[in-house]
Amino acid sequence: MVRRVAKLATFVGAAALSIGAFSQLSTNADASPTSDSASLAVAAAPSPPTQIDPQISDAYRPEVVPSGVSKIARVVRTATVYSSINGEPVGEVSAKTRYGLDQSLSVVGDPIGQWVNVRLDQRPNQSTGWLRLEDVEITWTDLFIVIDLSDRYLALYSAGDVVVEGTVAIGSSASRTPTGFTFVSEVLATPGATIYGPYALGLAMYSDDLTEYAGGNGQIAIHGTNTPELLGSDVSAGCVRTDNDLIRRLAGRVPLGTPVVIVA
């Protein structure tokens, strides 16, 4: 426990500094002898209105954003991604995710003039780019998720305090869970008794070992499980499995764009 507290304190600090799967849901179906034939009915989870901080509807105003929070850029129209401020166009990002949810990207630092630096949902992991401020709405949250792979442990922090925590299963040696900074890109309901449990939180992070899996593109997710006895072990195809109560609590609380840090 002492080791965990000291270790997480280090990465909580790193996360604070940084703040200021699915092509199909089967992308990250974790191999399990009980789940090979599982069928998935996927629906977007309803947004929990009481936990998500209000948008800034006008131009971004730093004076109304609380200190020590994570900023989120909700894309409001198809936007050009630039290599730097006033740099070359390097791509585009749409206003909706592949599941029709709001495209909400984690902000790196603070907006500068009419520009904002964001983490992108693409390979390679931890890719960033610049968007024009006019193409996004800035929101914020005091939530962030830390996943400690060596301890098989997940914690949701609110204003620096742990509010949800639990033991998780992680990727096997052949399909490791990648490390680094990312964010929640999707919150999806997975109804029925499936390998994902009741919810899956897609991350803007992709497997370093698999470029394709079960018809998908190797996207990593946090999701529930139908084999809770395997929590605490290294058995997945890269996803982070939680017990179903924990994933319900996460899905009902975190907004899209919530930052996540995965540490070794």
- 45-52 long-range Cβ contacts below 8 angstroms, 24+ apart: 45/187, 45/188, 45/189, 45/199, 45/251, 47/255, 48/252, 48/253, 51/252, 51/253, 51/254, 51/255, 52/139, 52/141, 52/255
Among residues 176, 180, 257, 188, which one has the least CA distance to residue 222?
A: 188
H-type alpha helices, 186-261: 244-251
Token pair recorded at residue 27? 């992308």
Among residues 10, 52, 33, 84, which one has the least CA distance to residue 230?
A: 33
- What is the tens place of the pLDDT at every residue in 116-174? 999 999 999 999 999 999 999 999 999 999 999 999 999 999 999 999 999 999 999 99
Q: Does the model's pTM come out above 0.85?
A: no
**DSSP H helix total and E strand total for the chain:** 2, 18
pLDDT score for 210: 84
Sequence-distant (≥ 6) Cβ neighbours of residue 246 within 8 angstroms: 154, 164, 166, 224
- What is the tens place of the pLDDT at every residue in 32-83? 333 322 222 333 333 332 333 333 434 456 666 666 799 999 999 999 999 9
Dihedral sign, CA of 242, 166, 45, 256? negative
pLDDT score for 211: 80
Taking residues 3-31, report their average pLDDT: 43
SS3 of residue 215 by DSSP: coil
Taking residues 80-104, report their average pLDDT: 96
Q: Rounded to whole angstroms, how far apart are CA atoms 141 and 257?
A: 9
Please, what is the average pLDDT of the chain?
Answer: 81
Cβ atoms < 10 Å from Cβ of 7: 17
pLDDT score for 2: 41
**What domains can you pick out in the chain, each with its CATH number?**
2-47+142-263 (2.40.440.10), 62-141 (2.30.30.40)
